[in-house]
Structure 1
Amino acid sequence: MQVIFKVIRQNPNSSPQVQSYQLEVEAGSTILDCLNQIKWEQDGTLAFRKNCRNTICGSCAMRINGRAALACKENIGSELKQIYGEDCCNSSITPEITIAPMGNMPVIKDLVVDMSSFWNHLEAVEPYISTGARIIPEREFLQTPEERAKLDRTGNCIMCGACYSDCNGREVNLGFVGPHALAKASRMVADSRDDTQDRRLEAYNKGTQGVWGCTRCFNCNAVCPMEVAPLDRITEIKQEILANEDVPNSRQIRHRQVLVELVKQGGWIDERAFGLQVVGDYFRDIKGLLSIAPLGLRMLIKGKFPLTFEASEGTEEVRSLIESVQAETR
């Protein structure tokens, strides 16, 4: 069947341009097969990365029809069904597939991006086991099967960059290390051979650079080709931070704790108490209180500041549900 490939092409310091290529392809052909065909038969200047062709190396990550994916994994048939439905192959209209470079990284040429920030942010979480404080043993450090099983899922990450490409948190916050780095970080926290868990949790808890920079948009889970589920791994780190009494109190921790407690009390959030407890740290953070004073004053003037709070209907049921979930996760 005939398929039109719209490839977003770009050189450094220039605007992207769309170039179309029409190919005769099979439904089982991968996107990478088609890009190879374009390069070998139509346009040798087209630039893209590739290597193993077996969903192992992660080199061929790019955006296919608006989402990050591995070109060697996605095939024509499944892509067209997502766009045109089950009758895609019988349509009289020539179907189209759009190929673009990954997001959140500058383009070097065409589908090749500069992944320097990706690797730098990975390095920032120290993604390696630290045993510096231990005496070197006579034999290697051993783990039980149960301890090793905790690392299986994060060990599947192939560093393709798909999650980083489609991360909304990274798009709005350049300091956020990204889901790939935090997925690796969760492995370090869970690894029984590491001796720096408290220091790691303190580092991952800082501002919006670490776990609190995640917007929980679920994009990383949706596009991960290896089912690492980075958002779930970020949540695991958050749970460790909240459960660890040695991790210093922070606005992010209070945000999580206060939100849950206020909903338990009233079924929804008492905005007056929320600001004072989270930003003002229960009247202990004078600087924080002063920072929200102008906003509170403007709300009062415009009649938008709630002077009273009424609990919602079904508060007891909401409280019971939250407490049940908390009991299950302890």
Structure 2
Amino acid sequence: MEVIFKVIRQKPDSSPVVQNYLLDVEPGNTILDSLNRIKWEQDGTLAFRKNCRNTICGSCAIRINGRSALACKENVGSEIAFKQQQFGSTSSSDEIPEITVAPLGNMPVIKDLVVDMNRFWDNLEAVSPYVSTAGRQVPEREFLQTPEERSRLDQTGNCIMCGACYSECNALEVNENFVGPHALAKASRMVADSRDNNTENRLEEYNEETKGVWACTRCHFCNSVCPMDVAPMDRITEIKQEILARKQKSDSRSIRHRKVLIDLVKKGGWIDERQFGLQVLGNNFKDIRGLLGISPLGLRMLTHRKFPLKFEPSEGTKEVRSLIEAVRLEEGKE
């Protein structure tokens, strides 16, 4: 079958251009196979990364049809089907299918599909992604773990540092201080590791508002593109739960946001917006600056008759409360 590969090519300090390559391929050929053929048969100047060709090293991560993925994992047939499913099939059977290939996002382009990953690695280093044994005496034998303790590290241990989650992270697009989902997924492994003795200090570091877990927008993109099912957003949530268990509402706005939301939903079945703003942003009149910050919004709502003057609890409040308690009970068993 013939396929047109639309490759987004770029050099530093220049605008990207689209270059088309026509290939006769099999549906089972991978995108990396196709890129290799383009380079070997049509254009030797095309630049991209590769290594193992077996979904182990993560080197060949790029954007394929608008999402980040491993070029050695995705094949031509599935990509054509994906594009038709996502965007609809409006073309006739005679038209040649197209696959668009682009460099990863949130990283500067070096050339074509090759990006500069220095910041990616720097952010990983910022969370100290290795077991701390400071303060321990060197043992006569190795540190031992039970099968259960080791199993807690299995999912995060699958991460191959391909950069797909980092590429799709919309929090990174607006907050350069955020360390990224890859780093926090590794951080969650350190928190769960029974050999590490620096958990409290780690959680304080990961609690930093613009750098740590609270900067995550919970968009779920990192989970959806991870080729190894690490689910970075879920790992970030696990760190949040560890922090929340150790913190009070008064400690920070991020902590109040989560705790107040749950308390109000338990009390009324849904959120009393008046109390939410007062307690989270105003910290019950203790944060004057926070109160002043939401005053203009409150005045506009009053002017447009959008301000809720009273609150009616949900008819299903008891059911909502019981669900929350059931979830917390299950979490306590883990």
Q: 2:158 aligns with which of 136, 156, 159?
A: 156
Counterpart of 1:46 in structure 2: which amino acid? Answer: L
Q: Provide the secondary structure at the position in 1 that maps to 2:154.
A: coil
SS at match of 2:240: helix
Give the distance between the partners of 2:27 and 2:96, measured in 1 at CA. Answer: 14
Q: 1:204 aligns with which of 203, 206, 210?
A: 206
The CA deviation at 1:179 is 0.7
| Offset at residue 292 of structure 1 (A) | 2.5
Letter of the 1:194 partner, please give it.
D
Deviation at 1:231, TM superposition (A): 1.1
Match of 2:196 among 180, 185, 194: 194
Aligned to 2:132: 130
Match of residue 9 from structure 1: 9
**d(CA) in 1 for partners of 2:293, 2:249:** 25
Q: 1:248 to 1:48 in 2, by over 3 A?
A: farther
Tell me if the contact between 1:202 and 1:248 (Cα under 8 Å) persists in the aligned partners. Answer: no
Q: Per-residue deviation at 1:280?
A: 1.8
The answer for the alignment partner of 2:26 in structure 1 is: 26
**DSSP 3-state at the match of 1:300:** helix
| Cα pair distance change 1:82/1:8, threshold 3 Å | same
Residue of structure 1 equivalent to 2:225: 223
Distance 1:190 1:116 in 2: 27
Aligned to 1:4, what secondary structure does the other structure show?
strand
- CA offset at residue 289 of structure 1? 2.5
> Residue in 2 aligned with 1:60?
60
List per-residue Cα deviations over 1:95-134 (Å, max 9, x = no partner): 1000000011111111011111111111111111111122
2:288 & 2:127 partners in 1: Cα distance?
32
> SS of the counterpart of 1:62?
strand
In 2, the alpha carbon distance for the partners of 1:245 and 1:166 equals 30
| Residue 288 of structure 1, CA deviation | 2.4
- Displacement of 1:320 in angstroms is 1.9
- Superposition deviation, residue 234 in structure 1: 0.8
* Other-structure match for 2:172: 170
Match of 1:316 among 315, 318, 323: 318
Measured after TM superposition, the shift of residue 285 of structure 1 is 2.4
TM-score (structure 2 length as normaliser): 0.93
Shift of 1:247: 11
Cα distance in structure 2, aligned partners of 1:247 and 1:16: 48
- Aligned-partner residue type, residue 59 of structure 1: S
Deviation of the 1:310 alpha carbon? 1.5
1:296 matches 2:290:
no
For residue 37 of structure 1, give the secondary structure of its aligned residue in structure 2: helix
CA distance in 2, matches of 1:133, 1:109: 46
Shift of 1:306: 2.0
What is residue 74 of structure 1 aligned with on the other side?
74
Alignment of 1:238-277 (within 5 A): 238-245=240-247, 249-277=251-279
* Matching residue's letter, 1:163: C
**Distance of 1:43 and 1:189 partners within structure 2:** 47
Given the alignment, which residue of 274, 279, 282 partners 2:281?
Answer: 279
SS of 1:69 mapped into structure 2: strand
Q: Classify the secondary structure of the residue corresponding to 2:7.
A: strand
Question: What percentage of aligned pairs have identical amino acids?
Answer: 72
Shift of the alpha carbon at 1:174? 1.7
SS state of the match for residue 101, structure 2? strand
Instruction: Pick which of 238-247 and 167-176 moved more.
Output: 238-247
Number of aligned residue pairs:
329
How large is the RMSD of aligned CA atoms in angstroms? 2.0
Q: CA deviation at 1:167?
A: 1.1
Q: Quote how far apart the aligned CAs of 1:307 are.
A: 2.0
Q: Deviations over 1:128-175 (max 9, x none)?
A: 111112222222211111111111111111000000001122122221
CA shift at 1:215, angstroms? Answer: 1.2
Residues 268 and 311 in structure 1, CA contact (< 8 A), matched pair in contact too: yes
Q: Equivalents in 1 of 2:226, 2:83: separation in Å? A: 20
Alignment of 1:116-127 (within 5 A): 116-127=118-129
Structure 1 gaps, min length 5: none
Q: One-letter code of the match for 2:175?
A: N
Show CA shifts across 1:202-225 (max 9, x none). 111111311111111111111111
Q: Output the TM-score relative to the length of structure 1.
A: 0.95
Equivalent AA in structure 1 for residue 162 of structure 2: C
Aligned with 2:239: secondary structure? helix
> 1:99 corresponds to which residue?
101
